[in-house]
Amino acid sequence: MATLEQCMTALEGFVGDLAANPALSGLDRTVSCRITDLDQVVQGRLVNGSAQDMAAVPAGPGVPKADIRITTSSDDLLALTSGELSFGSAWASGRVKLEAGLRDMLRLRSLL
């Protein structure tokens, strides 16, 4: 099991890369990643080509719902962000779950 610090570092890089992609220019969305085995949710924003305000909070009913939501384990998150695991196969096998509005899904599909 990966640590929360490892997951935060991986997510900051991953979300930063997404935000910097020209296909997502002008996107201003809240994002979250629920890390199931750590019982934590990392929240932040994709805005102006960068990831901002990334912070971890305990998972629970009081956590605000983000525009783009990912759910996965800590080890799968690290494998996804390092390139050891492809998003498509992880999603197809149920190792990662992505929830977003239709417009966001269409914009993200070519990037993941």
Residues 8-13: contacts with CB under 8 Å, at least 24 apart: 8/42, 8/54, 8/56, 10/77, 10/78, 10/81, 10/82, 11/42, 11/44, 11/54, 11/77, 11/81, 12/51, 12/54, 13/81
The whole model's pTM is what?
A: 0.86
Q: Position 102: which residue type?
A: L
| pLDDT tens-digit map of 44-66 | 888 877 778 889 999 988 888 99
Q: Which tokens go with 56?
A: 């971890």
Structural domains of the chain, ranges and CATH numbers in brackets:
4-101 (3.30.1050.10)
| pLDDT tens-digit map of 69-78 | 999 999 999 9
